């Protein structure tokens, strides 16, 4: 399928890089920090117990589900408080966690493909996660990042997609949203009126018979190839 586009909105976690390895490392790094600086906290909340606490904090604070940074901070604060730890360690503990969170391992194709895509059309990150693209090292490839924490509502809510389109100065139908998540990315963006590209690296089965992605690729390289072969809206004007 070919159609012109004017800009791209792009998911981050599990689209540019896998999140699972990051999740393992941040748990280990936070645990090591607590064992050094607050042993009672680490003893009360080893990695598996801290994971359980995080799940409980998330469940008890649905009003913060769009704010992963706030929820992570609240989890650490709760662990320190429960264990009689020094709450003054909260900022340092979160910084250790967050620094590790921004150490990403790209999918083999993604960085080179992203550079090609960004050379063709403006790219905006639209994410429910909390990666800092400047700290990751690719902020220069993006027009901006719109996170669910900043926006106040997470994908798949249509308003976050519409807000990104407004900041790009584009009509909804002139923007292609690219992501891996069937509901949060593809179905959400489609219902918001954007064109959609499903990055399906794992040969998953599409779950929504009432709608289909406009494009489906198993790599970002394939998207870059497609984009270089079709006109953008700018090419028509």
The ranges assigned to domains in the chain are 7-17+106-236, 20-101
Which fold, 7-17+106-236?
Rossmann fold (3.40.50)
**Residue 196 in tokens:** 């959609």
Q: Which residue has the tokens 């042993």?
A: 39
Pairing between strand 144-147 and 195-199? unpaired
Q: What is the pLDDT along the chain (237 residues), one digit of tens a residue?
A: 889 999 999 999 999 999 999 999 999 999 999 999 999 999 999 999 999 999 999 999 988 888 888 999 999 999 999 999 999 999 999 999 999 999 999 999 999 999 999 999 999 999 999 999 999 999 999 999 999 999 999 999 999 999 999 999 999 999 999 999 999 999 999 999 999 999 999 999 998 889 999 999 999 999 999 999 987 655 544
At 234 the pLDDT is 55
Task: Find the length of the chain.
Answer: 237
- As a whole number of angstroms, the distance between CA 62 and CA 7 comes to 32
Of 117, 104, 29, 103, give the one whose Cα is nearest residue 72: 29
CATH class of this structure's domain 20-101: mainly alpha
Q: Which residue has the tokens 């503990």?
A: 93
At a CB cut-off of 8 Å and minimum separation 6, what does 212 contact?
206
User: Would the pTM of this model clear 0.75, i.e. be above it?
Assistant: yes
At 230 the pLDDT is 86
- As a whole number of angstroms, the distance between CA 234 and CA 237 comes to 5
- As a whole number of angstroms, the distance between CA 207 and CA 187 comes to 10
- How many CB atoms lie under 10 A from the CB of residue 4? 15
**Residue 159 in tokens:** 């308003």
DSSP string, the chain: ----BSEEEE--BTTTB-SHHHHHHHHHHHHHHHHHH-HHHHHHS-HHHHHHHHHHHHHH-GGGTT-HHHHHHHHHHHHHHHTT--GGGHHHHHHHHHHHHT-----TTHHHHHHHHHHHS-EEEEESS---HHHHT-GGG-SEEEEHHHHSS-TTSHHHHHHHHHHHT--GGGEEEEES-IIIIIIHHHHTT-EEEEE-TT-PPP--TT---SEEESSHHHHHHHHHHS-BHHHH-
Q: Which residue has the tokens 């909340």?
A: 45
Question: Does a cis peptide bond (omega within 30 degrees of 0) precede residue 156?
Answer: yes
């Amino acid at each position: 399928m070919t159609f012109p586009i004017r800009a791209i909105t792009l998911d981050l976690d599990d689209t540019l890089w896998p999140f699972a390895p990051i999740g393992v490392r941040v748990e280990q790094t936070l645990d090591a920090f607590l064992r050094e600086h607050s042993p009672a906290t680490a003893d009360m909340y080893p990695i598996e117990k801290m994971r359980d606490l995080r799940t409980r904090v998330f469940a008890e604070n649905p009003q913060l589900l769009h704010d992963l940074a706030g929820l992570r901070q609240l989890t650490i604060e709760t662990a320190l408080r429960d264990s009689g730890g020094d709450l003054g360690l909260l900022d340092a503990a979160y910084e250790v966690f967050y620094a590790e969170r921004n150490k990403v391992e790209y999918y083999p194709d993604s960085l080179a493909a992203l550079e090609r895509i960004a050379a063709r059309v403006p790219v905006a990150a639209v994410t429910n996660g909390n990666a800092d693209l400047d700290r990751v090292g690719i902020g220069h490839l993006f027009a901006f990042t719109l996170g669910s924490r900043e926006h106040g509502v997470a994908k798949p809510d249509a308003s976050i997609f519409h807000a990104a389109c407004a900041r790009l100065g584009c009509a909804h139908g002139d923007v292609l949203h690219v992501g891996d998540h069937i509901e949060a990315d593809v179905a959400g963006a489609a219902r918001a009126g954007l064109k959609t590209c499903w990055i399906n690296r794992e040969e998953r089965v599409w779950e929504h018979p009432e709608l289909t992605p406009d494009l489906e690729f198993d790599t970002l390289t394939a998207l870059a190839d497609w984009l270089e072969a079709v006109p953008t809206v700018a090419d028509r004007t």
